[in-house]
Amino acid sequence: MSPGPTFDRVYLALKEQLISGRFAPGERLEPVAIGHDLNASITPVRDALHRLVGERMVEAPRHNGFAVPAPTEAELRDLYAWNSELLSVALRGLPARPQGAGQERSSQGVSAADLESWSTADLFRAIARRQANPELEAAIENLSDRLAPL
């Protein structure tokens, strides 16, 4: 049996739990308990936690276990400033609205009513996708994921 599907399942479930705020900032993450909750052995849980450390969604303080980041006020200000900078880059290259374009639909066919149900992260991802720059899109998505529980 390939370890890939188990790792993918554990990684995606754990990332969703982090984004949704299931774990409090500063809370220690216990791989054994997470494995029990996700019906997985400790190896894919640890692998997923290490990947999430690389994405900066989890911390490994002094290589002594894992924890949910608990940013200080200054760190939060930096994250929001970086978010603003990334969005500025994404917006800079967007074309101006074409003359005569309808007010009820955007150029991608999204109605104003649809936009009301979007999260801020959904809107930011849509802006990034319009640039057709996968690096910019990945950076905005990662930052949105990191800010979601805060």
**Rounded Cα gap, residues 16 and 21, in angstroms:** 9
Structural domains of the chain, with CATH = 3-67 (1.10.10.10), 73-147 (no CATH)
Question: For residue 4, is pLDDT > 50?
Answer: yes
Q: Is the pLDDT of residue 121 over 90?
A: no
Evaluate if residue 41 carries a pLDDT over 50.
yes
> Which of 22-31, 116-125, 137-146 is predicted least confidently?
116-125
Checking if the pLDDT of 81 tops 90, the result is yes
- Give me the helices (H) in the chain, please: 3-20, 31-38, 42-54, 73-92, 112-116, 120-129, 134-147
Report the share of the chain in percent with pLDDT over 90.
Answer: 58
* Residue whose token pair is 């019906």: 39
Distance CA 65, CA 61 (A): 7
Please list the residues that pair with 66 across neighbouring strands: 29
pLDDT at 112: 66
pLDDT tens sequence across 46-75: 999 999 999 999 999 888 899 999 999 999
What is the predicted pLDDT for the residue at 105?
46
Question: How large a percentage of the chain has pLDDT more than 70?
Answer: 83
pLDDT of amino acid 133: 86
CA distances from 106 to 18, 63, 90, 143 (A): 32, 47, 17, 25
> So what's the pLDDT on residue 109?
58
Check residues 131 and 68 and name the one with the higher pLDDT: 68
Is residue 137 within 8 A of residue 128, CB to CB? The reply is: yes
CA dist., res. 2 & res. 125, Å (int): 32
